[in-house]
Amino acid sequence: MTIPASMGVANGANFQPIGDGKAAATGDFVVTTDEVNPLIRALRTNGIEVTAIHSHMLDEHPGLRAFLGE
């Protein structure tokens, strides 16, 4: 289901080279509650260190799933 831009749902990633083939990165991912841990595992498995999680909307009602029709 397409979520309209007016809902403010977006994913973004920013990268800054720091030398030696490495980069500092920051990003935002909009995910449902049950997607949080798998996303963190995937990032860590691929060498990306997770330093912050903004979980202030995980318990919101009706929540993202209501907009996805689930």
Burial classification of residue 49, based on how many CB atoms lie within 10 Å of its CB (0-12 exposed, 13-18 middle, 19 or more buried): exposed
Pick the residue with more confidence: 5 or 20?
20
Q: What is the pLDDT of residues 16-56, one digit of tens each?
A: 999 999 888 888 877 777 888 998 999 899 988 888 887 76
Enumerate the β-bridge partners of residue 19.
Answer: 22
C-alpha 10/C-alpha 17 separation (Å) is 23
The model scores a pTM over 0.85: no
Place 7 in a pLDDT band, splitting at 50, 70 and 90.
low
**Domain positions in the chain:** 29-70
Q: Name every residue whose Cβ is closer than 8 Å to that of residue 63 and which is 6 or more positions away in sequence.
A: 32, 33, 57
C-alpha 55/C-alpha 52 separation (Å) is 9
